[in-house]
Structure formats: C-alpha cells, structure tokens
Structure 1
Amino acid sequence: MHAQSAIEYYSVEDYRHWEGDWELIGGIPLAMSPSPAIEHQRLGARILRRLAEALDDCPHCEALYEIDVEFSRDTVVRPDVLVICFEPVGERLTRAPDLIFEILSPATARRDEHTKFQLYRDEGVRWYVLVDPAAARAKVYRLVEDEYRKVGDFRTESCQFELSNCMITFDFGRLWTGGGATSEKF
C-alpha cells in the first residue's frame, strides 16, 4: 500500500466535532496535548497583557489568546497569542491576523519553526514571532514580498510592529521580567 493512500484527510467540519486539543493542517490532524506547561502559560499571559495594553488606544486592533484560526476548509490552527486588525465575522477567525506569537516547547517547536512558519507566510500573516523561553529570546519575522525576512533576535530590546491600523512597540526585555509595550496610532 502506498503511504499517501493510508493517510486520512479531514476537514474543518470534522475538526469541529473532535474532543481534546487539535490543530488541522492540510487535512492532517495534529495533537496539541499535553496542555502547555505553567511557564508557557505565564509567558503567553504576559505577551497577551503587553499587547492588549499597547492596543488600548487603537479601536481597530485587539489581542487574542489561543483562538482557532480557520485558514481554509482543511486547515485550522490555534496560535498562542495573536493580533487582529479587523472585526471578526461570527465566532471564528477566518482571515490572517496581523501578528502571531508562538511560544516554543519541545513538543511543538518543529511545527512552529517549519510547518506554521510556511503556513503563516503563505496565508499573509504580516509578523511572526517565535518565542524561546529556554533562551529568553524571541525571533521576529516580517512578511516582505511574500517571504518572511528576519528582523532580528530580541532579548532585552524593543521591536516596533507596524500593524494595519497602528504601530506598537513591544519591549522584549520586560517580557522576561514582566514589563510592557506601548502604542502609537497612524
């Protein structure tokens, strides 16, 4: 039997009926268990809080935590933290966010660094940030001419993210110690 014919293909409609935590990429289900460790959750909460504070003055953008993004009929992922600069239609996100943060863990690092990197690039996510808690470092990528270009590695520095409707400054140094971010309107 050919290996490809043994792989089952699923849709987002199938996904909606599953129990547990899953992602679906190109019709292939990917388990998301066990749930993120405590430090992963803490870091995700800090990122969300910093982004939400930075976006307080922007009426168009908002930060969301672990929400499904349905990119197509066979692909749905759940980024750790994201920023949208549009009003969602219904209860699900079906458009690319402006900014996605993924927190690396041993169980998901390869998926985040390769599979999701390509997926987010192809779907037009403007900014992709890979956060490595073990190294207290974040790699920031910006979409330029349909390719991700690395902006840099950030430990204690700040990075400005130009979103669809505003610009925010994110201080990565305060992320590891609990600090913040600021925003400017266009």
Structure 2
Amino acid sequence: MTAETLGYRGIPWTEEDYLALGETTDRVELFDGGLIVTPAPTPQHQHISRRLANVLNEAGELEVYEAVNVRLRAGRIPIPDLVVVDRIDPREPVVDGSAVRLIAEIVSPSNAFNGRLLKMHHYADAGIEWYLLVEPDGDAIGLRLFRLDGDHYTQHAAGGVLTLTEPVAVTIDPADLV
C-alpha cells in the first residue's frame, strides 16, 4: 500500500477516514491521526497465532479473535495479533477496548519495538488488564505475561509453561505453539 493508495492528503486521518478504507489484506493501524502499515506476518508468526488462539479458545469462557481492529480510544485503533474478549457483536468493524480482557502480541523482528514498547504503552493507557508477549527465537518461544498495575504493566509470569487463572483458566506450553 502506498501513500497514493491510502489517499495521502497531508492532514491527520480520522476514524471515519480509517474505516472508509474497508477491508484489506494489509495491516493498517490508526494511531493519533497517522497510519502505520506493516506487511503481512510471516508464516511462522501466523502459525504461532493460530495455535495460541486454539489454546486460549479451549477455555471456552470468553471469545478469541485474531487480528481485529480494537478501539483503545478515539483515533487509536491498533490490530493486535490476538484478543480475548467478552461477548461482542462480531459484525462490528471495531472491538471496543473495554470488552478486551487480554491482548497478545507476537514479536516479529521487523516490529519488535511496536510489540515490546509502543503498543504495550497504549494498551496500558487504555486499561487493558492483561498483556501476553510472545517472543519467537528460532525454534524456541518465550512467553511473558503482564498485568496492569495502575497505569503501566508489571511482569506477572515469564518463562516456559504459563498457567493462567485469569482472564481465562488455561495452560500455555510454548512447545505447543511451534
């Protein structure tokens, strides 16, 4: 996607402009009037995402979605790799951040800064209680679970197998994701 196909105008993008783009295979996110466009994830990334979604979905308590628009606040709509949410209307183009119980980001070499810092900050600012960071490293996968503590995240668990009791009761074994 080029600036020309995105209709570059030299003025900030609104949510209405953003949603008017319609569905696209590109990952286009809205952050405070600017668009961030990233290429499709690698097959490894997509494989990990699908496997993690399956594990989280096993709990059956909440809904799990991959790569959906999440409104953190007006004018801020990222596309996380996975979200665990209360029941929502799946026909709506945007999931409201207040319905999100956990967000998971899978770090890619090309967007490590976004997953580890930028998005983490925005998710905390929006009050999303749980943040799961998945860090592939060759054939191994690191997992770090963070819980909102005031206005920032603190690490709740890390390492190998993670057992969550909230927001869903599930055990995540990194070996099951590769």
Q: TM-score range by the shorter chain?
A: 0.7 to 0.9
Separation in 1, partners of 2:122, 2:165: 20
Separation in 2, partners of 1:99, 1:116: 13
Match of 1:87 in 2: 88
Tell me by how many angstroms 1:146 deviates: 2.8
Tell me by how many angstroms 1:124 deviates: 0.8
- Determine if the alignment matches structure 1 residue 30 to structure 2 residue 36: yes
Runs of 4+ in 1 over 4 A off after TM superposition: none
Tell me by how many angstroms 1:154 deviates: 2.3
Match of 1:160 in 2: 164
Match of 2:5 in 1: none
Tell me by how many angstroms 1:105 deviates: 0.5
Q: Which runs of no fewer than 5 residues in structure 1 stay unpaired?
A: 1-6, 178-186
TM-align CA RMSD:
2.1
**Residue correspondence of structure 1 range 169-180 to structure 2 within 5 A:** 169-177=170-178
**Residue correspondence of structure 1 range 47-126 to structure 2 within 5 A:** 47-54=52-59, 56=60, 58=61, 61-88=62-89, 91=92, 92-96=94-98, 97-126=100-129
Q: Secondary structure at the residue paired with 2:95? A: coil
Name which structure has the greater RCO, CA cutoff 8 Å, separation 6+.
1
Match of 1:132 in 2: 135
Aligned residue-pair number: 163
Tell me by how many angstroms 1:90 deviates: 5.6
Q: Secondary structure at the residue paired with 1:162? A: coil
Separation in 2, partners of 1:10, 1:42: 32
Tell me by how many angstroms 1:170 deviates: 2.4
Match of 1:183 in 2: none
Match of 1:41 in 2: 46
More displaced 10-residue stretch of structure 1: 74-83 or 87-96: 87-96
Q: Secondary structure at the residue paired with 2:13? A: coil
Separation in 1, partners of 2:48, 2:96: 26
Question: TM-score, structure 1 length as denominator?
Answer: 0.79
Separation in 2, partners of 1:26, 1:161: 34
Report the residue type matching 1:44 in the other structure: S
Q: String of CA shifts for 1:28-73, please: whole Å, max 9, x gaps.
A: 210121x11100000000011111112x2x2xx1111111112233
Identity over aligned residues, as a percent? 25
Match of 1:180 in 2: none
Question: TM-score, structure 2 length as denominator?
Answer: 0.82
Separation in 2, partners of 1:89, 1:52: 16
Report the residue type matching 1:162 in the other structure: E
Q: Which runs of no fewer than 5 residues in structure 2 stay unpaired?
A: 1-9
Separation in 1, partners of 2:34, 2:117: 15
Match of 1:146 in 2: 151
Preserved contact between residue 124 and residue 146 of structure 1 (Cα < 8 Å):
yes
